[in-house]
Amino acid sequence: MDKSAAVPPAPKTAPYLDSSQPLALRVADLVSRLTLPEKVNQLLHENLPVDRLGVPGYNWWNEGCHGVGRNGRATVFPQVIGLGATWNRELVEQVATVVSDEARAKHHAAAAAGRRGQYQGLTFWTPNINIFRDPRWGRGQETFGEDPCLTGILGLAMVRGLQGADPTYLKTAACAKHFAVHSGPEQERHVFDARPSQKDLHETYLPAFETLVRGGVEAVMGAYNRTLGEPCCASRLLLVEILRSRWGFGGHVVSDCGAIDDFHQHHGVTPSAAASAALAVKNGCDLNCGCTYKDLIEALETGLITEAEIDVSLRRVLATKFKLGLLDPQEKLPWSGLSTEILDSPAHRELARRAAAESVVLLKNNGILPLRPDHESILVTGPTAANTTALLGNYYGLSPRLVTIAEGIMANSAEGCRTVYRTGCPLLSPLAPGVNYTYPTAAESELTIAVVGLDPSLEGEEGDTVASPTGGDRDSIELPAVQLEFLTELRKHARKLVVVVTGGSAIAIPEVHEMADAVLQVWYPGCEGGAAVADVLFGRTSPSGRLPVTVPGRTADLPAFSDYGMSGRTYRFAEVEPLYPFGFGLSYGRVAYGSLSSGAQPVSKGGSVTVGSTVSNTGSRPVLETVQCYVVPPRDWPSAPRATLVDFRKVALAAGESRVVEFTLPASAFAQTDAAGTKVHHPGCFGVVIGAASPGARAQQLGAPSPAAGTVVLA
C-alpha cells in the first residue's frame, strides 16, 4: 500500500510553490510535507514524482564533459584535455555557455513531452578537475591537465558557463569531481587507499577543488577510492572538515555511481548496505548515484541514523532543485524559450571549430608548415585519419556530421591536387604480412600526412574501452608498436612527412619527433575536428595550443602508477628531462620576450608585486600567444617544486605588434606548503619566469622563445 496515499495534497498556495518566497522557507516547507519514503527517494539519483505535491520526477544523472552527453544530438566540442590545451579561459566559458544553452533546450523539450529520464536533466556531473598526475590514466582525457592552477582557472570558467549569471536561477548545476586524490589506476578504483603526504594533498590534489568551491560550484562528487583510510564519499576529513568547515561549501555532495556499495563490498569499512548509507549521509554525502540509500529506512529503524540527519541532506538536494526552477512554472525561467534548432547549429559548430583549432599543439616544424596551397599530390594515411571515434573522446554527445581529419584535409586540397587516403596500419594489432600499397603511394606523393595515436578504444574509463588490457588505462605511454613500425617504414618512402597525433594523454614519440618534418598533437578534437586541423595545417589559423601535460620520453621515466606521491611527477617535481615540456607549443609567428620588469621593493605578507614583460610578434603573421607566469621557489625549501604556474594570459598579437603583459601576484602566490600541508609565508629570494613554456632548457631546444626571468624578494 502507498503510505503517501493518506497524506493530503498541499494547497496551491503552499510556500514551496511560491517562487517569491525565500529559498530556505520553500525548502523547509517541502521537507515538512514529505513522508519518510518520499524523503529517502529524493536522495537517490532517480526520483519518483510526488504527484500529490506537484513534484515532478527527476533523474540527477547527466553528463556534459565537452557537450551535452549521451542524449542524442548536440554539438561535440573538443575533449576536455583539448580545451585545457587552449589555455583560454574566455573560450572555455563560451563553450560551457553553449553547452548549457543546448542543455536547457533539450531539457525543456523533453519535459514538455513528459520525459524526465537519465541524461535529460540539468545537473551535470562535470567538470572533472582531478590532477592528471600520470599519463597512463585513461580518464585523464576528461581533465584540464596536470597543473592545479591551470585546472582551477579553466574549471571555474566551465562552471560559470554552465551555471550562468542569472540572479535567481541556476542555468544548469555544475559538479566538481572526483573528490579527492582520484587519478587511476582504473582497475583499482573501487578498492585502493590513496595515501599522499599532507604536503602533496594540500599542494597538488585539493587546490583546484577549493578554487571551484569558493567560485560557487553547486555540487561536488566524491570519488570511489579511500583517501588516508576513509572512503571519499564518507570522509570526515574531506567532506566535513575541509569542504564544508574550511571552505564553506553550501551545495550538495553526490556519490560516484555505486561508490556507497564499495564501502561494504570492497573497502570493508562497514558491514552492510544500511551501515554504508548511514555513514555516507552522516558525513555529508547527500545524493546517492545508485540505490544504496534505499537502505536508509533500515538504518533509521536500527538506530544507525536519525530522520533529522536525513533531513540535512534532503534540504541540500531540494535547494538545488529550487535553484534550477524544477518546481516553478516553466515560463518563469529565462531559458525556457530556447529552441532545439540551436542544437549543433552553424554558430555552435563554428565555436567548436575554433576551440579545436586553438587546442592544436605544434610540437615540431622544420618549415614545412603551413602547407602551400599548390601541392601536386598528398597522401593521407594512418589509423585515426578517418576514425570518427578519434574525434569524440568519452562522455560525448552525437553530432549528425563528424568531420574526420582525412575529410578536413580533402576539403582543403586544391582542385587538381591528387589526394589519396589509405588506412596504412591498424591501431594496435600487428601489421599483416605481404604488400602494403601505402608505401609506394607515399613515394609517388609530394607530401604524406600520417594521422596516428590513440582513440577511445585504447584509453578511457573502466568498462568504457574495448582494447585496453587494464580497464581503460595504458600499460605504457609509447606509441603502439605497430604504428611506430609503420611510420618507420613510411619515412623511407615519404618525400615529406607530417605526423598528426590523436589521443587524450601524453604519448612518448621520440623516434617520431626525429623522423618527421612536422608533428602536431590534436587530442580528440570534436565534431569539427577535421576542419580545425586543416585550418592549422593550411595556415588559415596559426597554432596556439600549449601542452597542459608534460610528455615524458619513455614509460621508464615515470614513478609507479599506484604511487600517489608527487615526487618525480609533472613539470613541478620531475627530475628527468621531458620529450616535450608542460606549456610548450610552437606557432607560425616569431615571438620574443623582453626582460622582466618587477617592483624593486620586497614583498611583505599580505602585499603584492606586479611583474611583466614586453611580448613582441616579430613575424609576418598574427598569433595567439599564451604568456605564462611561473614562480621558482628557493631550493632550500623541503621538497620544493621546480616551478609553479601562478597565472597566464592568452593574447592576440598582430604581425609586428608588441604588448606589455603584466601579472599582479599576491604574496600568497609565493607561499610554500610544509610537511603538515599548511601554506607558509617563507621569506627569501624567489625566481619569477614569464615565458612560452614551463622553465627549463628543453623548450628553447625545441624552438620556444627565451623567457623573461628575474627575482622577487619575499620579506
Which tens digits make up the pLDDT trace of 524-575? 999 999 999 999 999 999 999 999 999 999 999 999 999 999 999 999 999 9
Burial class from Cβ neighbours inside 10 Å (0-12, 13-18, 19+) for residue 570 reads buried
Query: pLDDT band at 600, cuts 50/70/90?
Result: confident
Per-residue pLDDT tens digits for 379-416: 999 999 999 999 999 999 999 999 999 999 999 999 99
The chain-wide mean pLDDT, for the chain, equals 97
In angstroms, rounded to a whole number, what is the distance separating the alpha carbons of residues 678 and 680?
6
Beta strand pairing status for 708-714 and 684-691? Answer: antiparallel
Burial class from Cβ neighbours inside 10 Å (0-12, 13-18, 19+) for residue 285 reads buried
- Whether the domain at 353-573 and the domain at 591-714 fall into the same CATH topology: no
User: 286 an active-site residue?
Assistant: no
Helix (H) / strand (E) element for 320: namely helix 307-323
In angstroms, rounded to a whole number, what is the distance separating the alpha carbons of residues 171 and 176?
16
> How many CB atoms within 10 Å of residue 114?
8
For the domain 591-714, what is the CATH code? Answer: 2.60.40.10
Q: Which residues of 431-445 are buried (b: 16+ CB within 10 A; e: fewer)?
A: eeeeebebbebbeeb
Per-residue pLDDT tens digits for 468-486: 989 999 999 999 999 999 9
Residue 79 main-chain phi, psi, to 5 deg: -55, 155
Per-residue pLDDT tens digits for 27-38: 999 999 999 999
In angstroms, rounded to a whole number, what is the distance separating the alpha carbons of residues 410 and 566?
44
Residues 166-179 have a mean pLDDT of: 98
Q: Which residues contact 433 (CB under 8 A, 6 or more apart)?
A: none
Among candidate residues 134, 147, 256, 455, the one labeled active-site is 256
Query: pLDDT band at 1, cuts 50/70/90?
Result: very low
Helices (H), 324-457: 346-359, 389-392, 405-412, 438-444
| 91 in Cβ contact with 165 (< 8 Å) | no
Cross-strand bridge partners of residue 501: 452, 521
Residues 594-615 have a mean pLDDT of: 93
The domain 353-573 is classified under which CATH number: 3.20.20.10, 3.40.710.10, 3.40.50.1700, 3.90.1580.10? 3.40.50.1700
The 3-state DSSP class for residue 708 equals strand
Residue 234: pLDDT above 50? yes
In angstroms, rounded to a whole number, what is the distance separating the alpha carbons of residues 512 and 521?
12
Angle of helix 148-163 versus helix 207-214 axis, rounded to 10: 30
Burial class from Cβ neighbours inside 10 Å (0-12, 13-18, 19+) for residue 208 reads buried
Residues 1-30 have a mean pLDDT of: 85
| 450 in Cβ contact with 381 (< 8 Å) | yes
- What pLDDT does 2 receive? 47
Residue 511: pLDDT above 90? yes
- What pLDDT does 8 receive? 82
Q: Which residues contact 101 (CB under 8 A, 6 or more apart)?
A: 335, 338, 342
Across 273-402, the runs of DSSP E, i.e. the strands, are 361-365, 377-381
Does this model's pTM top 0.85? My answer is yes
Per-residue pLDDT tens digits for 26-83: 999 999 999 999 999 999 999 999 999 999 999 999 999 999 999 999 999 999 999 9
In angstroms, rounded to a whole number, what is the distance separating the alpha carbons of residues 469 and 699?
34
Closest to 125 (Cα-Cα) out of 317, 239, 254: 254
| 537 in Cβ contact with 531 (< 8 Å) | no
The 3-state DSSP class for residue 147 equals coil
Residue 9 carries which DSSP code? P
End-to-end CA distance of the chain: 72
- What pLDDT does 5 receive? 53
Per-residue pLDDT tens digits for 86-137: 999 999 999 999 999 999 999 999 999 999 999 999 999 999 999 999 999 9
Per-residue pLDDT tens digits for 660-688: 999 999 999 999 999 999 999 999 999 99
Instruction: List, as one string, the DSSP characters of 14-27.
Output: -GGG-TTS-HHHHH
In angstroms, rounded to a whole number, what is the distance separating the alpha carbons of residues 508 and 578?
9
Share of the chain above pLDDT 90, in %: 97
C-alpha cell at 217: 560550484
Cα angle for residues 325, 330, 335 (degrees, 5° grid)? 80
Helix (H) / strand (E) element for 497: namely strand 497-502
Sign of the four-CA dihedral 40, 43, 44, 45 = positive
In angstroms, rounded to a whole number, what is the distance separating the alpha carbons of residues 702 and 697?
9
Domain boundaries defined on the chain: 353-573, 591-714
Asked if the peptide bond before residue 185 counts as cis, ω within 30 degrees of 0, the response is: yes
